[in-house]
Amino acid sequence: MKTQLSMALPLAVAAAACAPGDVLPLVSTSEPVPDRVIVTPLAPPEDGVPLPNVPTRPFPGFSEEAQEGAGGSTSSGGDAVDPDSSSATGGGADPLLCTVDTDCPAPELPCRVARCESGVCMSPALPEGTILPASHQNPGDCASLRCDAYGFAAGVVDLGDADDLNACTVDACSDGGASHQPVAAGALCANGTCGDTGVCHAPGAPVWKASVALGGASATVDCLALDSDDAAIVSGRLNLSSTQQSLAFVVKVSRHGGVRWVRDLGHHVDGAVRVVVTPNGRVVGSWRNTFAGTGGVGATLQALASDGSSLWERATEPGFHVVPGAFDLDPSGVVRAERSLLNGSCYDFGGGPVCEDGVARYDLEGQFLGFEVGAVVAGACSPSAVTSWGAVVTASTMGSMLTIDKLAP
């Protein structure tokens, strides 16, 4: 084991070998010096043993310059890898004297602590594993700064540091940081129910509100349907004060309350505008319109893609009296629309003339599949719907302002 004297001195040491704690006779050729020097062993850092914590004390009659000139250096006697491990001496000056710990200055390193030991200010290392206070931590980085055996701060993986204390999220450490993914919507939490954004909602509490200014004199909501992602599809009529007519409109709002698109379907209507949503997100609307100049009544189907662009339209021709009724989407994806024929009229929907009420059937591409004489559709339309996790979405208007509200179950 290597040994080192407390201070390097221009001394002649009369010994061939020594051991820790040996007292060595000294022969001085310069100014008077102490007659005893204790040999202090230094454990190599690689051994994993903290170095001793002793104060620095220049010997009488020797300046720092003289010691350097003699080929030695002032030894801290402390941790060889940390200059702050010994006494607070102000860089080689006499150690600071003290009575209590508060007389000593705070060490620069967070894993050291000021101590008054035997009347001298010291800065020993905190116990290995000490967790540094919050002011030294970086919340959410999945790591905890702790003190190592040598008085330095070291990052330690801490999965608990990812916890956002939210019962509606799943916390994990990834890519050097924390992630918080929402749990399945509808899970119970302390105050009620987890929504689809990782928030705990009290019963009946607002989840979000969306508003759309439609223009015109006033608007009427006829139907609200939800797609497979719980986005709201709202249909209705915009009443135009200048013409006393109404235009069909459809609005899509995401499950998080963002307005995706607003579409004027380009038709004047005189009845409710109903919608259904297909499994692949398409929107099919149905409404009644009156043909100006002919006195006829017509029925229109129009399909929109999930982005609101027009796909196809099927409308009865002017001069006939075909009144639309309820319509729905059967489990096989077939659009079924009630059609009533007024005044004993007949109409050819594509498979030959029919003269009785019934249901016209279309596939999702708008192709006519047949007419079921005497059939009815149980489809209903409402300005509200319930999401997959029980939240209630409603649509209403005030003047021409459309408002969609989502309330927790």
Tens of pLDDT, residues 70-113: 333 333 333 333 434 445 544 456 789 999 999 999 999 999 99
The whole-chain average pLDDT of the chain stands at: 79
**Helix, strand or coil for residue 301?**
strand
CA distance 46 to 265: 79
Question: Would you say residue 18 has pLDDT above 50?
Answer: no
Got the DSSP string for 148-195? -TTS-EEEEE-GGGG--S-TTEEEEEETTEEEEEE--TT-EETTEEE-
Tens of pLDDT, residues 240-289: 876 677 899 999 999 999 999 999 988 888 889 999 999 989 999 999 98
Q: How far is CA 280 from the centre of its chain?
A: 28
Evaluated on CA atoms 235, 236, 240, 245, the torsion sign reads positive
The token duo for 34 is: 């102490």
CB neighbours of residue 56 within 10 Å: 21
Q: Quick one: pLDDT at residue 194?
A: 96
CA distance 359 to 374: 7
Domains and CATH numbers, the chain: 1-124 (no CATH), 126-186 (no CATH), 206-406 (2.40.128)
298/232: higher pLDDT: 232
Q: Quick one: pLDDT at residue 294?
A: 64
